[in-house]
């Protein structure tokens, strides 16, 4: 069974975290360990999702208090298959990049890196300033995967859910969890025709 750690921080874009949790909840043989920061809870109450903490509780197998530094996921001896910080606020990004570990999300990310396990950051800010970019570059050089929730339009999204699903698909791909949530790039029609012509 895959064990996935999810950290939700106080950036806008909680909808991305909820969609990922839904898909992981529906996936076979996946166990989720969830941490929600205090500001993420505030966003949940006022933001775009319409979900409550109780709703989220049904989507995760284990939920930890963000202040519980003695939690299972705070130790490198807890073996898991990846951690996703989604959405990642710039404060959380900075804390992870500097190894601050002042919250359970930061600590869990820190031990994920030190144990050389997969860490995915989904930063939600615009525009990025130099500090944001330097922190992302620093983490990328350490093997952290940075996946901003940038929409694609080759799949011709018609709804907000289509746009969100594309990001969820990318994250699941990087967690090695099979999915077909969003249409994938199949190549330019002109390229296909050109190749077909060269074979005649």
pLDDT in tens, 125-184: 999 999 999 999 999 999 999 999 999 999 999 999 999 999 999 999 999 999 898 888
Mean model confidence pLDDT for the chain:
92
71 belongs to an annotated ligand binding site:
no
Residue 86 host element (H or E)? strand 82-88
89 belongs to an annotated ligand binding site:
yes
114 belongs to an annotated ligand binding site:
no
Cα distance between residue 186 and residue 192, in whole Å: 9
Q: Structurally, what CATH architecture does the domain formed by 2-198 represent?
A: 3-Layer(aba) Sandwich (3.40)
Cα distance between residue 77 and residue 91, in whole Å: 26
182 belongs to an annotated ligand binding site:
no
- Report domain extents, the chain: 2-198
28 belongs to an annotated ligand binding site:
no
Report the pLDDT averaged over residues 109-117: 98
Report the pLDDT averaged over residues 110-134: 97
* Tokens 């989604």 sit on residue: 86
124 belongs to an annotated ligand binding site:
yes
């Amino acid at each position: 069974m895959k064990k996935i750690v999810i950290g939700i921080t106080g950036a806008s874009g909680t909808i991305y975290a909820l969609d990922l949790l839904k898909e992981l909840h529906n996936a076979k043989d996946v166990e989720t360990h969830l941490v929600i920061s205090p500001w993420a809870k505030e966003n949940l109450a006022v933001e775009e999702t319409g979900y409550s903490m109780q709703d989220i509780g049904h989507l995760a197998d284990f939920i930890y208090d963000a202040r519980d530094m003695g939690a299972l996921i705070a130790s490198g001896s807890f073996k898991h298959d990846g951690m996703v910080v989604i959405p990642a606020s710039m404060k959380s990004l900075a804390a992870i990049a500097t190894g601050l570990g002042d919250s359970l999300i930061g600590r869990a990310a820190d031990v994920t890196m030190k144990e050389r396990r997969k860490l995915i950051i989904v930063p939600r800010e615009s525009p990025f300033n130099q500090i944001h970019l330097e922190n992302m570059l620093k983490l990328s050089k350490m093997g952290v995967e940075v996946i901003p929730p940038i929409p694609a339009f080759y799949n011709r999204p018609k709804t907000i859910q289509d746009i969100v699903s594309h990001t969820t698909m990318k994250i699941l791909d990087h967690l090695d969890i099979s999915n077909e949530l969003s249409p994938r790039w199949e190549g330019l029609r002109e390229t296909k025709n050109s190749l077909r012509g060269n074979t005649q």
